[in-house]
Amino acid sequence: MRPNLFWFPRLISTLLALALLASVSADAQQLPRSVTLGSNPPGSIFYALASGLAKVVSGATPIQVVVQPHTGTTAFLPLVNSGEMDFGVNNAVDMALSYQGPARLKIGGRNPSPETPNIRLVMRGAPLLISLLVRKDSPIKTIHDIRGKRMTGEFPAQISSWYNMFGFLASAGLTWNDVRVVAVPAANEGVDALVQGRADVSLHGLNSAKVREADAAVGVRHLSMECSPEGEKRLRKAVPGYYPRWVKAGQALAVVEDTCVNAYDIYLVTHKGTGEQVVTTILKAIWDNVDMLPPLHPTFKEWTRERAVDPDATLPYHAGAVRLYMERGVWSAKMDEAQRKLLSLNP
């Protein structure tokens, strides 16, 4: 009598299913239930972006992303560097200063940033656009007209604004000695000084709530930096990570004519010791659902797959991010070279 072997295929299928289930379970166990994402305070562009990224990733993965706002990027960078915080939203210039440290990099003779040799880049996002601001009826028509005028400066609570002003001046071949500095703690207070008549020139982000407030109060307009080829060279040399961007009249509030503004990239960063599977899972969620971001904030319009990888990055990429970018075919030999150079700064 021949044995009944009809049960054998079913047994094999069952064993394969159990093996697959075990594999999926093992992968899930590698992922934490939640991760933290550092940002600037509520009301800032960085907080809005962090909240948008958290919403998309939390909805597409088993990981809940919890946004933790701080007074500024300087406050939470040491936490990301030590691994106490998992991720952060920052910018290219801050990361250049903190990754290289004051021994290697100073901008305008200063670098008060905490050293963060352990932070790695996950994704290059949209550019942050910052521009000079004057009253609408101001006689100042070009950046060269600011010589001798009252310009907001110092910015002890927001060092990034100091670097922006330094870059604007450098583009025109000017220095702080060419203007009369009105000391303010941060960019918002600088706009207040402009509205109150204590300053002639300030700065702020395009389409920010503060610019809307100032425009409603006294009427303001953005002022171009020096965007000639020579001006661009001076800007890029003065502040690594800055680059000029033309904005057409009417494309943003207080842009009354085509205006050249300062741009620098927004970064999603993490600790180098963050698990590759965690980074790959989070990055894949953003990559696959990038079209869900723009409705959450206008800045997300340029948070694209095409911008994710860039050889001019000021920070080396996390190994998990590199793996996904290789799988997507966007990691080139030029990126390998850039990655090696950046990693050699903090071996």
Question: Among 13-22, 109-118, 212-221, 326-335, where is mean pLDDT lowest?
Answer: 13-22
Interval 86-104: pLDDT, tens = 999 998 988 999 999 999 9
What are 14's two structure tokens?
């069952």
Match 């250049």 to its residue by tokens: 96
- Residue 108 corresponds to which amino acid? G
> What are the structural domain ranges in the chain?
32-127+265-345, 130-264
Name residues whose C-beta falls within 8 Å of residue 283's C-beta, 6 or more positions apart in sequence.
Answer: 122, 123, 320, 321, 324
Interval 294-347: pLDDT, tens = 999 888 999 999 999 999 999 999 999 999 999 999 999 999 999 999 999 987
CATH number of the domain located at residue range(s) 32-127+265-345 in this protein: 3.40.190.10
Q: Tell me what percent of the residues of the chain surpass a pLDDT of 90.
A: 76
The pLDDT score that the predictor gives to residue 325 is 98
Q: Tell me what percent of the residues of the chain surpass a pLDDT of 70.
A: 91
Pairing of strands 64-69, 34-39: parallel
Interval 235-252: pLDDT, tens = 999 998 899 999 999 999
The pLDDT score that the predictor gives to residue 171 is 98
Q: How many CB atoms within 10 Å of residue 137?
A: 9
Q: Kindly tell me if the per-residue pLDDT of 18 is higher than 50.
A: no
pLDDT band at 10 (very low <50, low <70, confident <90, very high): low
Q: Indicate the class that CATH gives domain 130-264.
A: alpha beta
Identify the three-state secondary structure at position 178.
Answer: helix
Average pLDDT of the segment spanning 109-125: 93
The dihedral through the CA atoms of 75, 46, 160, 119 has a sign that is positive
The pLDDT score that the predictor gives to residue 40 is 84
Pairing of strands 87-91, 34-39: parallel
How many distinct helices (H) and strands (E) make up the chain?
11, 10
Q: How many CB atoms within 10 Å of residue 236?
A: 17
Q: Note whether 32-127+265-345 and 130-264 share their fold.
A: yes
Give CA–CA dist 213/58, Å, rounded.
Answer: 34
Q: How many CB atoms within 10 Å of residue 222?
A: 25
Q: How many CB atoms within 10 Å of residue 346?
A: 16
